[in-house]
Structure 1
Amino acid sequence: MRRRKIIHIDMDAFYASIEQRDHPQYRGKPIAVGGSPDGRGGVVATASYEARKFGVRSAMPSKKAQQLCADLIFVRPRFDVYKEVSRKIREIFQRYTDLIEPLSLDEAYLDVTEDKQNIGSAIEIAKLIRQAIRDELQLTASAGVSVNKFVAKIASDMNKPDGLTFIGPSRIERFMERLPVEKFHGVGKVTAEKMKKMGLHTGADLKKLTVAELIKHFGKTGRFFYKIVRGIDDREVQPNRETKSVGAEDTFPYDLVALEEMHDQIERIATILHERLERYGLKGRTVTLKIKYHDFRIVTRSQSFAQPVGDLETIIATAKQLLEATDPVDSKIRLLGVSLSNFEGLRVRTDDDSDQLRLEL
């Protein structure tokens, strides 16, 4: 079977880099694109690399980001500009292949097994794409090249910013054995902590478990872990993949018992969801609230509207009403999630096996 040639392109600090490109006064300074720390629920969408040195990260509350970096400059996002730049990046990709699977505005998979210009080398194509992005858009991108999506995505993160990493077939299995479990795509903080408590720190540790053992401990994702630690990923690049819902959720370090705390967390999580909806230009008819209690019991509640909604106020108000309908007084809640669905034919793409974009903080 012919090996695929997969490239994962990931723009470097995309929103922040565009702001620094367009506003010289921001260059070389720590900036955060997102909500103001003065309001309630402000969240960092992207931080410049100067800000990341202080520990500022995406999805971090803006108030916390300001505490970490007193000189941090907050910039309101300009999603119309980011979308236009993303469109131009897509045009660069299309010079080489039509098999493009966007994951968001700033990253995508490309299958260049058959490339339009008959270059033949995925590494050379990745170099040409990065150079075109630099020359035409004055931005930098990092690229990972391999024979499947999983390894290409990990490779693109190895030498950021402005890096290019190739992991060939002969290196994959050994590379996966050395990889820390928290670097596995799909492994968030909660799962990583669970793995480490089980003595599973690297891919080599995961490899010692049978597929049945992995499924027992991690559900259906265990089967994916079993294959990927062996370098097996048969997922194709899917140009027209459709997602059914977009959401955000968080597992808390302690159980929430006060209604006011629950409302505060809903506002924060809904703000993250709203920024994602803005990023993709989406509105939907159905708001869903997910609740996980201290005993791991999960309930979901939904409300649908006659017309599509996407504004933050409606999402927050609806999620709070759904929460209060569950009679949360004296409840112990360990996780809350808010999502929007029923997009009426609009499409947004993800890169995992689920139909929902999740955020583990």
Structure 2
Amino acid sequence: MERVILHSDLNNFYASVECLHQPELQGKPVAVGGSVERRHGIILARNTIAKNFGIKTGEAIWQARQRCPGLIVTPPDYGKYIRFSKLAREIYRDYTDKIEAFGIDENWLDVTDSTRLFGDGEHIAHEIRRRMRAETGITVSVGVSWNKIFAKLGSDLKKPDDVSVISPDNYKQRVWPLPAKELLYVGPSTRRKLAKIGLYTIGDIAAVSPAVLTGLLGKWGEYLWSFANGLDTTPVSILGTESMIKGIGNSMTTPRDLENNEDVKMLFYVLSESVAERLRSHCFKGSTVQIHVRDRDLVTIDRQAPLNTHTFVSSEIAEKAFEIFLKNWTWDKPIRSIGVRVTDLVIPDGCTQLSLFDADNRRLKKELLEKCIDDIRSRYGHYSTQRALMLKDTELNANPIEENVIFPVSYFR
């Protein structure tokens, strides 16, 4: 029996939730963003009206207001967004237990077995769409296909509040003419590499020899070829069995431009302390550190590297982050935002390779020290104890966290 996969994408999620909680915003251009005063002025989400003015996520608020002087910007409230995300999952749960998160506002659903009770995939998708609007007040776009990649692509084809079906009979007409960037996991770097050899559409990727893509992109090229040809067979995880937390990370837009390594090093420690604290609170260690760096012209790099062992020690995370930075940043322009994430998580005291030397004893002492610091901060506040390094510039160290996020899925391509 051919699989029936849905991808559900809550429309303009943050902005939609804010408009529900603030009825006076209805009918106006609304965006969710950071603080302009502290230079956290990035658009995180926008409603359809703001989108019609050409406002994009990730751009500076001052730029958005040039196109839309009447734009209303409200700060994010992640507690509300998590609540609505859970409400959406309760609706999905009525149709299947095979639900896999792809961010706070997106989910894959395998409804293959449910078609016997509720009708075909398109019918189930429309039913979910109608229920979402009636029961939560927000809208959803749903893609229907026989694999996860095309279902995800389908949810992007018609927005808001609509359903798109990509089937074995129509995918060559609907999918292949689309730009290569529309294929999941084709980021800016991969898109540029593909364009250099004349591959501009998903159809171009599907038609080229897999060996060409492997030579260009390594093993990932083979995956992209199979995705473009509809050959993805990745299963949808059963709710409650998948690892919901794939990574934990923090990022910040800096109060001033960073122009030297010392500033960057200090902020990596600031961010890594928060990341490590959250790792410990969720009972995880990680073995891969990822960094995100954006210059003042909004040109961004994302890089990652493995640690020697799984850790939740902030100094080890910060040192690795700074090491990655030094290898990849050329200081052509000042920096306006940076981030740190830790992925490849395991439960502490699980299957971790031990050292034959004294490194494990030293690490144990570091872990005990950081747990003691957690206890102190839980009683007297986060800033009751700090590294001396962080006192060099109180402006950079003051309330820095813009993004403090648990990542259900984290890809850097």
Normalising TM by the smaller chain, what interval? 0.7 to 0.9
For residues 303-349 of structure 1, what are the alpha-carbon distances to aligned partners after superposition, in whole Å with 9 as ceiling and x for unaligned? 9545xx8xxxx99xx75x66666895996269976213476659853
> Aligned residue for 2:340?
338
1:59–1:357 Cα change, 3 Å: farther
Letter in 1 for 2:131: A
- Work out the CA distance in 1 between the residues paired with 2:113 and 2:152: 20
How far apart are residue 53 of structure 1 and its match? 2.4
> Aligned residue for 1:245?
247
1:172 aligns with 2:231: no
Letter in 2 for 1:241: E
Report 1:88-107 matches (<5 A): 88-107=87-106
Unaligned segments of structure 1, at least 5 residues? 250-255, 351-355
> Aligned residue for 1:259?
260
Cα root mean square deviation, aligned: 4.0
Letter in 1 for 2:96: T
Larger Rg: 2
| More displaced stretch, 37-46 vs 119-128 | 37-46
How far apart are residue 261 of structure 1 and its match? 11
How far apart are residue 101 of structure 1 and its match? 0.8
- More helix by percentage: 2
- Work out the CA distance in 2 between the residues paired with 1:127 and 1:152: 14
1:71–1:169 Cα change, 3 Å: same
For residue 102 of structure 2, give the secondary structure of its aligned residue in structure 1.
strand
Identical columns (%): 29
Q: TM-score, normalised by structure 1?
A: 0.76
> Aligned residue for 1:349?
408
1:126 aligns with 2:125: yes
Letter in 2 for 1:288: V
1:157–1:342 Cα change, 3 Å: closer
- Work out the CA distance in 2 between the residues paired with 1:196 and 1:115: 41
For residues 112-166 of structure 1, what are the alpha-carbon distances to aligned partners after superposition, in whole Å with 9 as ceiling and x for unaligned? 1111871231111111111111111111111111111111111111110111111
Contact 1:38–1:63 under 8 Å retained in 2: no
Letter in 2 for 1:13: N
How far apart are residue 209 of structure 1 and its match? 2.1
1:189 aligns with 2:248: no
For residues 90-128 of structure 1, what are the alpha-carbon distances to aligned partners after superposition, in whole Å with 9 as ceiling and x for unaligned? 111111111111212211111111118712311111111
How far apart are residue 192 of structure 1 and its match? 1.4
1:222–1:54 Cα change, 3 Å: same
Q: TM-score, normalised by structure 2?
A: 0.67
For residue 104 of structure 1, give the secondary structure of its aligned residue in structure 2.
coil
Contact 1:257–1:330 under 8 Å retained in 2: no
> Aligned residue for 1:288?
289
> Aligned residue for 2:367?
none
Report 1:24-39 matches (<5 A): 24-39=23-38
- Work out the CA distance in 1 between the residues paired with 2:325 and 2:87: 49
1:245–1:329 Cα change, 3 Å: closer
